[in-house]
Amino acid sequence: MIKQSLLSHIHISILNIFTAKLPSMAEEAKPEYNTLYPWKVQVKGGFKATSFIYGTVALENTGFVANIVSLVLYFWLKLHFDLSGAANTLTNLMGSAFLLSVVGGFISDTYINRFHTSLIFGMVEILALMMMTIQAYDEKLQPASCGKSNCMTGRPAIMFYASMCLFALGSGGVRGSLPALGADQFDQKDPKVAKGLASYFNWLLLSTVTGSLVGVTVIVYISTNKNNHNWWKGILITLVCAFVGFIILALGKPFYRFQAPGESPLVRIAQVIVVAIKNRKLPSPESTSELYEINERESASTEAKIAHTEQFRSLDKAAILHNDAEPLPWTVCTVTQVEEVKVLTRMLPIIASTIIMNTCLAQLQTFSVQQGNTMDRKLGSLEVPAPSIPLIPLIFMIILIPIYEFTFVPFARKITKHRSGITQLQRVGVGLVLSALSMAVAALVEVKRKYQSLENPLKPISLFWLSFQYGIFGIADMFTLVGLLEFFYKEAPAGMRSLSTSFTWISLSFGYLLSTIFVDTINAVTKKITPSKQGWLHGHILDQNNLNLFYWFLAILSVLNFFNYLYWATWYKYKPEDNVSIMDKSISISGVSLVKTAEEDEPRPQMENLPLNTLK
């Protein structure tokens, strides 16, 4: 018995030596393994790891969302921007932040892992919040009222635009890497574990909503209390929350599975396009089996191969290898590499179809807040800050997300046999319908608000009339945001998942930037055709505007966009679940894969290509 136990112990120790540095896609998927007690295995990843990410997301969004809904008033009342100038400044800031998520996604896919990328950009965001706090506190760094749309000059302008740029870069980089880090904690090759991915994105949204709820109540109340003299206190709380959040993220490092950075996804895309153009005059092969692909034994990668698809056949020419040519990167591409580009190309119309919805979202964070500031904000003896009105949809979402996860998904799963209950694109479609309805309701509410304000300025309608448009859009956002995040992560090739997940934020970015374009264009056009020679959204006084017409414009545009989305969603072909995958080169003990950790970066060339039977 002792001899058998000793031999078993030696055998396990040898396996640990051999498998300690085997290459793998998952940089730190290796469990903690006890050689004395081999049955005690602590697996990394899963919901234990994502609990740290949920905490970070909640705390970071406490300030981020509070800034989104309150900065428009800060720009308007404290920094003396005019009505449209304050709205455009905020939408430009948010658009830039979400657009720069591509930077975080690209860096985490190519150079450093998603964990370190999140921390680096988190420090940039904290620096920006420090600068914003100082400017909000020091009146010497604030511009004087000048009667123009933008009064920023000199030192205040330098401080303001520097802090805005850093905030956009930091928060954008975090959003480009952090959601994908959480999704990496679920092994897509294991069907049981992969089911947790859909739940992960639902709980990620719940964490975001929970943090946002604190932001739009506590932080907004402190910022706007006492005649708007406490803006610096609200931003300071935002700074503290973000700092604590990233400390929590750092504390979770021992539990994370890490995706090792690989070849630049942009280079891989460029190679396919360049080689396809070079080979454009070559005849297509009679059989797709003649296209170039590295076979399993030649490949040193554990990345799954992607099966050939028929769409975009012109790109297949990048996988044609001349008889006398060497298989070099800029000479020929693998079928998998070509299919990666096809996947990303198929995603482009989906991204474009969700931009209008995010343009609608921008209005709820700008003009709707300005509406609320002119309405009756009293709830009994309490005066509710206008930026706190989003707490209504946030409360809806906090209630609905668990119901969706525990009730709707299991029920729908029995009917559709789909892992997530309904497909990701179906979720997005529901959100688009609700966003159009939200804008129509917003137009009706604005008609009522303006009529009452002009009829009897001393008795404005209640702020809570805005809850209808906010509530409908909150449900729309619950469907669309989670659907897009899961869609882009699951459909993307393994080496491009951060970049692909950032497509969700690119859609948000373009939505915010398009809002600025719409506001400026509609002001310019309507200024020429209205009898008053004033644009729909001009000046500082909301009652002299035609905001309701702008909302109707967005509602009609959203309906047309939905039909456009239906076409592309029907056209889209999901990536097959049963992709042709290469052999997993890691050793398995009791079904737990032993692969390289983050600290084990040194290669072991003598072990890389050992067949499994040599380790038995």
Q: How high is the mean pLDDT of the chain? A: 77
The enclosing H or E element of 304 equals none
pLDDT in tens, 580-610: 333 333 322 223 332 333 333 334 333 333 3
Q: Could you tell me if 570 and 6 are in contact, meaning their C-beta atoms sit under 8 angstroms apart?
A: no
**pLDDT beyond 90 at 112:** no
pLDDT of residue 250: 92
Other beta carbons less than 10 A from residue 381's beta carbon: 5
3 state DSSP class of 17: helix
Range 300-304 average pLDDT: 51
- Judged by average pLDDT, the poorest of 8-12, 337-341, 586-590 is 586-590
User: What's this model's pTM, rounded to 2 decimal places?
Assistant: 0.71
Provide CATH code, domain 46-261+341-571.
1.20.1250.20
CA-CA distance, 53 to 255, in Å (whole number)? Answer: 11
Backbone angles phi, psi at 597, to 5 degrees: -95, 175
pLDDT of residue 601: 38
Return d(Cα 584, Cα 1) in angstroms, integer.
34
- Residue-wise pLDDT tens digits, 115-131: 999 999 999 999 999 99
For residue 334, name the pLDDT band (cuts at 50, 70, 90).
confident
Residue 197, pLDDT > 80, answer no
Which of 157-171, 319-333, 532-546 has the highest mean predicted lDDT (pLDDT)? 157-171
User: Which of residues 440 and 137 earns the better pLDDT score?
Assistant: 440
Whole-number Å distance between alpha carbons of 34 and 39? 8
pLDDT at 193: 59
Q: What are the tokens at 164? A: 């805005």
At 301 the pLDDT is 47
pLDDT at 436: 94
Q: What is the mean pLDDT of residues 155-169?
A: 90
**Is 265 in contact with 107 (CB distance < 8 Å)?**
no
Query: How confident is the model over 545-570, as a mean pLDDT?
Result: 91
Which residue in the block uniquely carries the two structure tokens 């719940």? 206
Residue 408: the pLDDT is 84
Residue in the block written with tokens 């005649």: 227
Least confident of 147-161, 293-307, 599-613: 599-613
581 CB contacts (<8 Å, ≥6 apart)?
189, 304, 305
CB neighbours of residue 229 within 10 Å: 12
Tens-digit pLDDT profile for residues 379-431: 777 777 777 777 777 887 888 888 888 888 888 888 887 777 788 899 899 99
Q: Which residue has the higher pLDDT, 203 or 229?
A: 203
pLDDT in tens, 23-33: 333 333 334 33
- The torsion angles phi and psi of 264, rounded to 5 degrees, stand at -60, 125
pLDDT in tens, 220-256: 888 777 555 678 888 888 899 999 999 999 998 888 8
pLDDT higher than threshold 70 for residue 35: no
Whether the CB-CB separation of 122 and 241 falls below 8 Å is answered with: no
- What's the mean pLDDT in 486-513? 81
Beta carbons of 492 and 343 less than 8 angstroms apart = yes
Given pLDDT bands bounded at 50, 70 and 90, which one contains residue 43? low
Mean predicted confidence (pLDDT) in 143-165: 81
Q: Give the pLDDT score at 162.
A: 92
Measured between alpha carbons, how far is 422 from 417 in angstroms, rounded to an integer?
A: 9
| Tokens read off for 181 | 């880090």
Residue 376 pairs in a beta bridge with 462
- What percent of the chain stands above pLDDT 90? 15
Q: How far apart are CA 282 and CA 276, in angstroms?
A: 10
From the centroid of its chain, how far is CA 95?
13
Assess contact for 279 and 318: CB atoms under 8 A: yes
Residue 453 in this model has a pLDDT that exceeds 70: yes
- 3-state secondary structure (DSSP) of residue 199: helix
What tokens appear for 92 in the block?
Answer: 């430009």
Q: Give 254: exposed, middle or buried? Use CB within 10 Å, 0-12, 13-18, 19+.
A: exposed
Residues 433-443 as b or e (16 or more Cβ within 10 Å = b): bbbbbbbbbbb
- How is residue 498 written in tokens? 């951060």
In sequence order, the β-bridge partners of residue 36 are: none
Q: How far apart are CA 559 and CA 350, in angstroms?
A: 16
Write out the two tokens for 527. Answer: 């200024």
3-state secondary structure of 311: coil
Q: What is the mean pLDDT of residues 190-217?
A: 79
> Which alpha helices (DSSP H) does 20-153 contain, by range?
46-73, 83-99, 101-110, 114-137
- Between residues 225 and 272, which one has the greater pLDDT? 272
